[in-house]
Amino acid sequence: MHRFLQRLMIAWLLPGFLAPAMAQDRRISASPQASQNERQAVQWFNLLDHNGDGQVTRTEARWAFQLDKRLAAQFDQADANHDGIVTEAEIRALAAQRKAERAAHSQTKP
């Protein structure tokens, strides 16, 4: 029985210890002058990037799509080359695009 518990502990704990060490941590960060929306995009990106490789695959993001259907549409929007993976460059491009859109919108307002 003791041995069984020991094995169970190892089976449970080992992957948790090994996985972060094995995966290359490439979590992205927002620049100090980033807008609130850009910070939020970066936060979401890191949250969804389960293995921390600096890319979010459709599989990684699937659970979030179930929580909020709009995220699926946003994922597709961010995935500019439609390969099912959102890269750091793609999420930053989307954030920049949104920022430009907001700037243009506020200029048209009286």
Q: Where are the alpha helices (DSSP H) in 1-110?
A: 2-22, 36-48, 58-67, 69-78, 88-108
Q: Which residues contact 25 (CB under 8 A, 6 or more apart)?
A: 52
Residue 68 Cβ, how far from Ca ion at the closest point, in Å? Answer: 19
- Classify residue 22 by burial, with Cβ atoms within 10 Å: 0-12, 13-18, 19+: exposed
Residue 99 Cβ, how far from Ca ion at the closest point, in Å? Answer: 20
Of the residues 53, 58, 65, 88, which one makes contact with Ca ion according to CB under 5 A: 53
Q: Which range in 12-20, 24-32, 34-42, 81-89 contacts Ca ion by CB under 5 A?
A: 81-89
Of the residues 30, 49, 71, 92, which one makes contact with Ca ion according to CB under 5 A: 49
Q: Tell me how many residues contact Ca ion (CB under 5 A).
A: 8
SS3 109: coil
**Identity (one letter) of the amino acid at 96?**
A
Instruction: Return the number of the residue (68 or 83) whose C-beta is nearest Ca ion.
Output: 83
Instruction: Read off the tokens for 76.
Output: 């597709």
83 binds Ca ion (CB under 5 A): yes
Of the residues 51, 58, 65, 72, which one makes contact with Ca ion according to CB under 5 A: 51
